[in-house]
Amino acid sequence: MTPMLDPTTLTVFITGASSGIGAATARRFAEAGARVVACGRRTDRLLALKDEFGDLIHPIALDTRDWQATLDAVAGLPERFRAFNVVFANAGLAMGLEPAQAANIEDWNTMIATNITGLTYTVRATLPAMVARGEGHLVLTGSIAGDYAYPGANVYGATKAFVKQFALNVWADVAGTGVRVTNIEPGLTETEFSVVRFHGDKSRADKVYEGATPMTGEDIAEQIFFCCTLPRHVNITRIQAMASQQGFGPLAVKKRPGA
């Protein structure tokens, strides 16, 4: 097989790098000697990454829902980080687990703004440079929730279904340009995901993982690192990964007495 790519030739632009899968991916690449543009809203976490890896990290305070700020972040990159050849559009979140008929509209707005609008901003702001250079890799954070329905996932799952189709459609546009596109779809992964979903209720979040062995941000980072270091003629279009203990329930027939 053609050799794997040398990670020290990679410059990785990551959104949502202040926690979870984003932070783990920043670490995975920096440990291997790649340069990392670490974008996120929590600058203290980004500065901690910089303390850990020094000049390999370029932190940027960024809310991906802000189009102009996203454009400015890309345009303002210092020389050493300008020729990024991996973009990990990862910033996203789940909020709420109520049924659709009782969901909080602000939660829905936040998920749509972050998981859809912000994600498209990141892609639109970074893709032209990679296409122009004829080399790059776009990685998107999807979810198994974009493939399968479960109660309470309503808008969250729908945003991840958007990510799935967007990844394929962007791939349809850039295939042959030297830019690859991968949709990473994690299942049960213990990060701050559930704490955010339950609006800071840590004990409720802990119960999601209690008695199970969920995947970790590091597990997902390893999958991303693998995809990005494969020889350039190989494109993994999608990885769907579940915790080994995760499975399916039966299709339900919800009978209504008397109906």
How far is it, in rounded angstroms, from Cα 67 to Cα 168? 23
Give least dist CB 79 to ligand 8X3, A: 36
User: Which range of residues in 34-42, 54-62, 71-79, 180-188 is near ligand 8X3 by CB under 6 A?
Assistant: 180-188
Give least dist CB 155 to ligand 8X3, A: 12
Catalytic-role residue among 121, 148, 156, 209: 156
CA distances from 195 to 102, 109, 191, 241 (A): 20, 18, 8, 21
Restricted to residues 131-160, the positions that interact with ligand 8X3 (CB under 6 A) are 143-145, 153
Give least dist CB 28 to ligand 8X3, A: 19
User: Which range of residues in 55-63, 71-79, 185-193, 230-238 is near ligand 8X3 by CB under 6 A?
Assistant: 185-193
Question: Any catalytic annotation for residue 156?
Answer: yes
Q: Does 187 bind ligand 8X3 (CB under 6 A)?
A: yes
Torsion sign, CA atoms 7, 11, 17, 22? negative
How far is it, in rounded angstroms, from Cα 173 to Cα 90? 20
How many residues bind ligand 8X3 (CB under 6 A)? The answer is 7
Give least dist CB 221 to ligand 8X3, A: 15
Residue number of the CB closest to ligand 8X3 reads 143
List the beta bridge partners of residue 25. Answer: none
Q: Does 188 bind ligand 8X3 (CB under 6 A)?
A: yes
Torsion sign, CA atoms 55, 17, 225, 84? negative
β 238-241/215-216 pair status: unpaired
How far is it, in rounded angstroms, from Cα 122 to Cα 139? 11
Nearer to ligand 8X3, 83 or 93 (CB): 93
Q: Supply angle C-alpha 177, 179, 185, rounded to 5.
A: 140
Catalytic residues: 156
| Residues forming the site for ligand 8X3 (CB under 6 A) | 143-145, 153, 186-188
